[in-house]
Chain A
Amino acid sequence: MASKIKAFGAFAYDFVIGDDWLVAAGVVIALAITYALAHAARLSAWWPVPFVIAILLPLSLWRAIRKPPSP
């Protein structure tokens, strides 16, 4: 039973998070900033997600090519 739960956890992690956890963490942070700006500060808040993508994608690529080439 424990091994099945572990296997499901690994499947769910791979399905949702994928190869780079930093991407998922960055997305959550970007949306949290958007939420805070839109609700608490009542500011125009469409820009945090594109801004984070512009940083996150090159960073994640850089992390990938630093590793030995994967198949």
Chain B
Amino acid sequence: MGAGVILFISVFLACTVEAVEATTIVLAAGTARDWRSAGSGVVAGIAVLAVITAALGPAVTKLPLPALRLFVGALLLVFGLQWLRKAILRASGHKGLHDEDAIYRKQLAAAQSASARSASARRLGLVPDAYAFTLSFKGVLLEGLEVVFIALTFGGNAHDIPLAALAAVLAVALVGLVGLAVRAPLARVPENTMKFVVGVMLTAFGTFWGTEGAGARWPGSDAALLVIAPAIACFALLLVALLRRGRSASEPPPARVPAEVS
């Protein structure tokens, strides 16, 4: 498998996870409140993201590669290890599984209760429902920032921003279209498994780029990634097995929870 394919898959999976989370928020805002306002929030969020991307994109490509790799590698390592930590805790039953259905219901209930409380403060300029607009806007902007960060940093480090951008756009478009078609939370997306894979990939790229950015050279150069990623995956699976074994058989697994979006 070439480095380009690994880059594409990593960016596509990571961006799919973020897009599923943003879509859940937008669907809740549209269903509970007003589709036009939720749609305006999406458009406004994408517009702000476009400005940020236009500002950051050229800057990323102009940074010296060792400094970029060190900085981005460190960030990816921190993000990757945090994702992997949560994924291992979920897979071993020490933490409730991420549940888009439950998150959707929670957002829906919050939006409906806001509707009852703030009937007089609903309109915002041309937007009929300020709450739906703000909820969608924040969801798209925050999750979108992660998509932009992933695409720019992966693409910048691999000298292939167009491929990383293509993977990100395809992931977001696919999830957005499916979400629009079904108008329901994308609970069938195997999000917990994908987060495990993304955690492994982020940690692997972070390990590779961080080390190279700090001035060291990997044996085998780029081919080292083909060893690093499976080694991290095996290590994480081993930790899942050990934690499962250590968990008391009488203890029930935690419920699927909507408590967090990450």
Chain A residues within CB distance 8 Å of chain B: 16-20, 23-24, 27-28, 30-32, 34-35, 37-39, 44-46, 48-50, 53-54, 56-58, 60-61, 64-65, 69-71
Q: How long is the Cα–Cα vector from A69 to B248 in the complex, in angstroms? A: 13
Q: How long is the Cα–Cα vector from A17 to B79 in the complex, in angstroms? A: 8
Tell me the minimal C-beta distance from A41 to chain B in angstroms.
Answer: 11
Judging by beta carbons under 8 Å apart, are A23 and B78 in contact? yes
Q: How long is the Cα–Cα vector from A30 to B224 in the complex, in angstroms? A: 18
**Known contacts A46-B219, A70-B95; is-contact A20 B70 (Cβ 8 Å):** no
Q: Among B74, B79, B217, B232, point to the contact of A31 (Cβ < 8 A).
A: B74
Answer yes or no: B243 CB below 8 A from chain A CBs.
Answer: yes
Interface size for chain B: under 10, 10 to 19, 20 to 34, or 35 or more residues?
A: 35 or more
Q: How long is the Cα–Cα vector from A57 to B217 in the complex, in angstroms? A: 23
Answer yes or no: B42 CB below 8 A from chain A CBs.
Answer: no
Judging by beta carbons under 8 Å apart, are A60 and B85 in contact? yes
Chain B residues within CB distance 8 Å of chain A: 70, 73-75, 77-79, 81-82, 84-86, 88-89, 94-96, 203, 206-207, 210-211, 213-219, 224, 228, 231-232, 235-236, 239, 243, 254, 257, 259-260
Q: Using Cβ atoms and an 8 Å threshold, which residues of chain B touch A17?
A: 78
Tell me the minimal C-beta distance from A15 to chain B in angstroms.
Answer: 9
Q: Using Cβ atoms and an 8 Å threshold, which residues of chain B touch A48?
A: 211
Judging by beta carbons under 8 Å apart, are A50 and B207 in contact? yes
Q: How long is the Cα–Cα vector from A65 to B93 in the complex, in angstroms? A: 10
